Amino acid sequence: MRSPDVGRFAWGALRGYPTRTLLMLLAMAIGVAAVIVLTALGEGARRYVADQFSSLGTNLLIVIPGRAETGGATPGTLMGETPRDLTLDDAMALTRSYRVRRIAPMTLGAADAAYGRRQREVTVIGTSHELLALRRWTLARGRFLPDIDIDMASPVCVIGGKIRDELFGPRPALGAWLRLGERRFRVIGILGSEGRSIGVDVQETVMIPVASAQQLFNTPSLFRILVEARSREAIEPVRQFIIDTIRHRHQGEEDITVITQDAVLATFDRIFGALTYAVGGIAAISLFVAGILIMNVMLVAVSQRTAEIGLLKALGAAPRQILALFVSEALLLSLLGASAGLALGMAGSLLIRQLFPAFPAHTPAWATLAALLVSVLTGLLFSLLPARRAARLDPVLALSGR
Amino acid sequence: MAMIELQGVHRDFRVGEQTVHALDDINLTIRAGEYVSIMGPSGSGKSTLLNLIGLLDRATRGRYLLDGQDVTTLDDVAQAEVRNRRIGFVFQAFHLVPRLTAAQNIELPLILAGVPREQREPRVRRALEAMNLLERAHHKPDQLSGGQRQRVAIARATVNEPRVLLADEPTGNLDRKSGRDVIDILESLNRHGITLVVVTHDSDIGGRARRRLHMLDGRIETDHHPDGDRHA
Ligand SMILES: Nc1ncnc2c1ncn2[C@@H]1O[C@H](COP(=O)(O)OP(=O)(O)OP(=O)(O)O)[C@@H](O)[C@H]1O
Ligand SMILES: [Mg+2]
């Protein structure tokens, strides 16, 4: 028997029972579409997070006071000592490496902001001129904090768009004097960037020079220091440089934590990668279910078509040919179902991308391949049992309908 | 020249604890081109004998030579090939595949034999022509009369030009007129050289054969032979 004839015969058999064929196609298609769409969602989430992180700025290192280590305690914590504060001097010391492109110290606090009779609580970030470039932010109006020494206070501020809307309304904000606590700051710029920083919506912050913030909140300590390395390769040496420098300045205590953006990103990457595998696997179970359905329906088909099988044997079909016919039928079914599912799944992910443009729901190639492979393999596997039953039928009994 | 030669053939069926001797020491030689009818009461083993000759069933004991070749020892694949090339079957219930047209049903043995498509078409056409079914070529079985269906079945059985044609009650589901037509066709095939074995309950039909076997309890009781009667 020639393979095109096998295919034609199998196709004819499928068309001969349209209801059962359509049902099985549907089951297979839904399974494959589920894998495609769910992995697209997982992959979308992964890329979304990656995008968010890279919008933080590249080659970024974050210096946080205190030692965040799970293994073993440092002598300092054993002695019940609280970690030393990060200071502006520490921050300035970090500029003394050619591998460091720029740094931006940060303090954080809450204050009441008022303009005229309008008032609200805002998050105040004390930082420096460099933060704008470091975070790849843009300004909607005006300019960012002035390029002055970081230990210099200056009564100026840059406000987020939302603050502007809420405190100034239709009145011009640039050049106006904003009241923060007991002090007054002149608005010199309005942030245009979306995005979040350290969990705070940038649009709802007011930024002032770090020295001014330290006066405002009456504290010499920094919340953290952001450091940008000159290149990706420089990240590790810079990390070491930061640790060495601060330890030296803190009398040999290593009481800071340096987070590299890469490490954080890699962690998220792993989490979302695993998530994608997991949902892909869960969806693959539906393919398995479709396979079991195929097996069931094929078993019914074998008993329905007993006489036909007996006849084929009488006409000279060897057991292997009968096997090939039924397996081809199942394979054809899973291939058609998988193709339909592929189209359905791709349309689904396209729809998601259209509805949520920020969410890059692209099915990874491995998932597409795996879905097709699994559907074809289940079709093959689950048709083997019914096909073997057909191949082993006794032709005399099959023909007599006994 | 012996076409079919059965030597001491037994066929036992085990039904639970019991053993049914469906065929009990059959010795039979059918020469090429013979026309043989097999009659006998229900359960006497006629179908079992025919299925065995057609290699649909295996003997429990004994030897079967087809055209001089011992086919008892052939494996499944080789037996399937013998069925395909050398034997044609006609059944009481026609056994046409309902979703296939007359032409497609006739094409089946050629497809199973791996005959290329372009060679199949003229052969199917000739078979349809021989059965006077050309205008029914693209009809499905449920659009055909019983007589037409049996003619499609005969066309299918003969499209591979087998040497032996086996018919088990070929007229059993037909009215007298269609039954006569079918017998006429079978006999004309026999005149053209095919070895014909017909199992029937109808003594009119059975009586037309030159050689008539009568079976009883798995044995050949009488064997009316054109060259003088023999008793088995
Ligand atoms: N698969 C089987 N299992 C058990 N017994 C069987 C089987 N096939 C046939 N037999 C028995 O073998 C004997 C012969 O059966 P067979 O079908 O050859 O009879 P037959 O002469 O064709 O009868 P009929 O004229 O009714 O068709 C019967 O007793 C039958 O019950
Ligand atoms: Mg019978």
Answer with the residue of higher pLDDT: A360 or B45.
B45
Answer with the residue of higher pLDDT: B221 or A277.
B221
Shortest CA gap A377–chain B (Å): 26
Contact A397, B56 (CB under 8 A): no
Q: How confident is the model at residue A83 (pLDDT cuts 50, 70, 90)?
A: low
Q: How confident is the model at residue A300 (pLDDT cuts 50, 70, 90)?
A: confident
Supply the residue whose CA is at minimum distance from atom 5 of ligand 1.
Answer: B13
Region A86-90: what's the mean pLDDT?
91
- Identify all chain A residues contacting B111, using CB atoms and an 8 Å cutoff: 1-2, 5, 9
Q: Is the CB of B19 under 6 A from ligand 1?
A: no
Region A116-137: what's the mean pLDDT?
90
Please tell me the distance between residue A393's alpha carbon and the centre of ligand 2 in angstroms. 19
Taking the C-alpha atoms of residue A149 and residue A162, their distance in angstroms, rounded to an integer, is: 29
Supply the residue whose CA is at minimum distance from atom 18 of ligand 1.
Answer: B45
| A140 touches B at CB < 8 Å | no
- Identify all chain B residues contacting A307, using CB atoms and an 8 Å cutoff: 93, 95
| DSSP annotation of B174 | S
Residue A144 three-state SS: coil
pLDDT in tens, A274-287: 888 888 888 878 88
Q: Domain containing B160: what range?
A: 35-41+77-230
- Identify all chain B residues contacting A16, using CB atoms and an 8 Å cutoff: 98-99
Region A379-400: what's the mean pLDDT?
91
Q: What's the N-to-C CA distance of chain B in angstroms?
A: 20
> Which ligand sits nearest to residue B40's alpha carbon?
1
Q: What CATH number does the domain containing B140 carry? A: 3.40.50.300
Taking the C-alpha atoms of residue B226 and residue B182, their distance in angstroms, rounded to an integer, is: 23
pLDDT in tens, B150-163: 999 999 999 999 99
pLDDT at A193: 63
Side chain identity at residue A349, one-letter code: S
Residue listed under structure tokens 């189209």: A343
Supply the residue whose CA is at minimum distance from atom 12 of ligand 1.
Answer: B22
Contact A88, A210 (CB under 8 A): yes
Contact B96, B155 (CB under 8 A): no
Residues 6+ away with beta carbon under 8 Å from A260? A60, A61, A62, A235, A239
Determine the length of chain A.
402
pLDDT at B225: 81
pLDDT at A73: 45
Taking the C-alpha atoms of residue A93 and residue A158, their distance in angstroms, rounded to an integer, is: 26
Q: Which of A20, A311, A320 to mutate to test the interface with B (most CBs of B within 10 A)?
A: A311
Residue listed under structure tokens 């040496």: A237
Helix (H) or strand (E) holding A13: helix A3-16
Region A266-276: what's the mean pLDDT?
83
For residue A292, pLDDT over 70 is answered with yes
Q: Is residue B15 part of a domain?
A: no
pLDDT at A261: 74
Q: Is residue B108 part of a domain?
A: yes
Shortest CA gap B204–chain A (Å): 25
For residue A78, pLDDT over 60 is answered with no
For residue B181, pLDDT over 90 is answered with yes
Residues 6+ away with beta carbon under 8 Å from A306? A393, A398, A401
Q: Is residue B179 part of a domain?
A: yes
pLDDT in tens, A193-242: 665 555 567 888 999 999 999 999 998 889 989 999 988 788 889 999 99
pLDDT at A80: 47
> Which ligand sits nearest to residue B48's alpha carbon?
1
DSSP codes, B180-203: HHHHHHHHHHHHTT-EEEEE-S-H
- Identify all chain A residues contacting B91, using CB atoms and an 8 Å cutoff: 399
Burial class (CB in 10 A: 0-12, 13-18, 19+), A31: buried
Q: Is the CB of B45 under 6 A from ligand 1?
A: yes
Q: Which of B21, B47, B60 most suits a substitution to test ligand 1, by most atoms within 8 Å of the C-beta? A: B47
pLDDT at A55: 64
Which among A15, A315, A321 has the least Cβ separation from residue B109?
A315
Percent of chain B with pLDDT over 70: 97
Q: Which residue of A has its CA nearest to B77?
A: A318
Please tell me the distance between residue B229's alpha carbon and the centre of ligand 2 in angstroms. 25
Q: Is residue B14 part of a domain?
A: no
Query: How many distinct structural domains can be found in chain B?
Result: 1
For residue B103, pLDDT over 80 is answered with yes
Q: Is residue B68 part of a domain?
A: no
pLDDT at A56: 65
Supply the residue whose CA is at minimum distance from atom 24 of ligand 1.
Answer: B42
Contact A87, A151 (CB under 8 A): no
- Identify all chain A residues contacting B82, using CB atoms and an 8 Å cutoff: 316
Region A145-156: what's the mean pLDDT?
91
pLDDT averaged over every residue in chain A: 86
The reply to whether the predicted model has a pTM over 0.95 is no
Ligand 1 atom closest to the CA of B40, numbered from 1: 21
Q: Is residue B94 part of a domain?
A: yes
